[in-house]
Amino acid sequence: MESIDGTSNANIDRAEELKILANEAFKANRFSQAIDLYSQAINLNGYNAVYWANRAFAHTKLEEYGSAVQDATKAIEIDPKYSKGYYRRGAAYLAMGKFKEALKDFQQVKKNCPNDPDATRKLKECEKAYQKIRFEEAIAVKDSQRHSVADSIDYHSIEVELQYNGARIEGEVVTLDFVKKMLDDFKNQKYLHKRYAYQIILQAREMLRAMPSLVDITVSDGHHFTVCGDVHGQFYDLLNIFELNGLPSEENPYLFNGDFVDRGSFSVEVILTLFAFKCMTPSAMHLARGNHESKNMNKIYGFEGEVKSKLSEAFVELFAEVFCCLPLAHVINDKVFVAHGGLFSVDGVKLSDIRAIDRFCEPPEEGLMCEILWSDPQPQFGRGPSKRGVGLSFGEDVTKRFLQENNLDLIVRSHEVKDEGYEIEHDGKLITVFSAPNYCDQMGNKGALIRFKAPDMKPDIVTFSSVPHPNVMPMAYASNFLRLFS
């Protein structure tokens, strides 16, 4: 027997079985496996809107919002009255910061389910968020007319109360004793005084501003160098990295490859720690910009809310300014290229082109700077659309050509959660490293770091598990509407 659309009953039954297995994988937070099983169900019966909407939700969990929008759109095409299709697409648009598109979808959900209190509440939140963004855009000052916040701050004039018993910087120099005391305070959920927070951020800004967009790092023979991936506000896991691999010093230098903040609810502690080490010993701490070091992301994923809660509104602008000073890429010993996202939509990009990027701005929506922060590798050759809806996917041939043209051996990038904390792809020429274990308290992944020793610069990968943290949920400071959907 066949159904009206030509799908056999056997296929329909098998597709349902696969959907049940996919749902179980989803509940166990095995989202890649769920996507695979939903895909198998879709191959057997592509006319069931539920399969597409469910796969969209699994893509959302892996931050593959571009793919989620595509799947949800397909569900809507199959069944224009299927509310969950609009709902899933709206949630994916929200996560991308596309409020106008999200609003349209939630209006449609409300239209389909006029008496559903949940739909009403979410539509209201979405409208509020959209109005707020519109208002902020209306009053925003053009970049060319904006005065630097940093220039208007004199931290010397800020009084430190006698009863403050936290870490103190004596004079202008950030010392190891200060950093250790600060880390200890953070561990016990104490805050750093605003005066010292300003001092660290402003000193880090001066250093970062003076650097090129692509930084060359030299590791002398017999010495080593450590590269870490995304930390995403997981401060207690950052402490564990230093526990396992030693504190940053001239003899033990680190590069943190972007996405220091957002999602995890200890982002302020993470960023102040990294900046403090930068101030203490500039050569011990290298920092690259990630796609989450941007206003747009920080507004949605928690850093802005956390900064307002732990420091003050004034710091939000200051961090935004400093994030625009972060370098975009590093090359270690002329061999290893390190950047947060990956490669480009065109061939022939030279290191000199990356050096020439004017990076002192919010990330644009296209071009080299956008791509270096957002792109991902793909198993197929060539280039393809991004799963995220920003940047692109690039294949092994693209990786090898870039390495060859720039006389390099290896690409190290971050940007994607990996079960083992890392993944080696593209015939060993590309490594993804991700340093936030049990990401968002739910992915169950390991974290990893890579140690390189000169002169051979072969990657030595160390993996580690998550450690306990105080009972503050990830996304605790994220925008209201996003929490409703996660």
Query: In the predicted model, what is the mean pLDDT of the chain?
Result: 94
pLDDT recorded at residue 480: 72
The whole-angstrom separation of Cα 436 and Cα 417 is 8
Q: Does 330 participate in catalysis according to the annotation?
A: no
In 3D, which of 52, 40, 116, 114 has the Cα closest to residue 89? 52
The whole-angstrom separation of Cα 85 and Cα 54 is 9
First-last CA distance in the chain? 41
Of the listed ranges 83-97, 226-240, 360-374, 427-441, the least confidently predicted one is 83-97
pLDDT recorded at residue 52: 98
pLDDT recorded at residue 143: 60
Query: Where do the H-state alpha helices sit in 302-350?
Result: 303-310, 313-323
Of the listed ranges 30-44, 85-99, 228-242, 454-468, the least confidently predicted one is 85-99
CATH 3.60.21.10 fits 150-485, yes or no: yes
Full strand arrangement of the beta sheet holding 459-464: 285-287, 254-256, 224-228, 447-453, 459-464
The whole-angstrom separation of Cα 440 and Cα 234 is 9
This prediction has a pTM of 0.94
CATH topology of domain 9-139: 1.25.40
pLDDT recorded at residue 4: 46
Of the listed ranges 82-86, 98-102, 174-178, 246-250, the least confidently predicted one is 98-102
pLDDT recorded at residue 144: 57
Q: What is the mean pLDDT of residues 171-196?
A: 97
pLDDT recorded at residue 141: 66
pLDDT recorded at residue 12: 93
Of the listed ranges 126-130, 239-243, 451-455, the least confidently predicted one is 126-130
Choice between 322 and 98, residue whose per-residue pLDDT is larger: 322
Which candidate in 193, 286, 292, 426 is catalytic?
292
pLDDT at residue 237 greater than cutoff 70? yes
Band (pLDDT 50/70/90 cuts) for residue 293 is very high
Domain boundaries, the chain: 9-139, 150-485
pLDDT recorded at residue 1: 46
Band (pLDDT 50/70/90 cuts) for residue 486 is low
Token pair 């929506």 in the structure block, residue: 365
Q: What is the mean pLDDT of residues 106-117?
A: 88
Task: Look at strands 422-425 and 392-394 and give their pairing.
Answer: unpaired
Band (pLDDT 50/70/90 cuts) for residue 148 is confident
How does pLDDT run across 305-315, given as a tens digit for each residue? 999 999 999 99
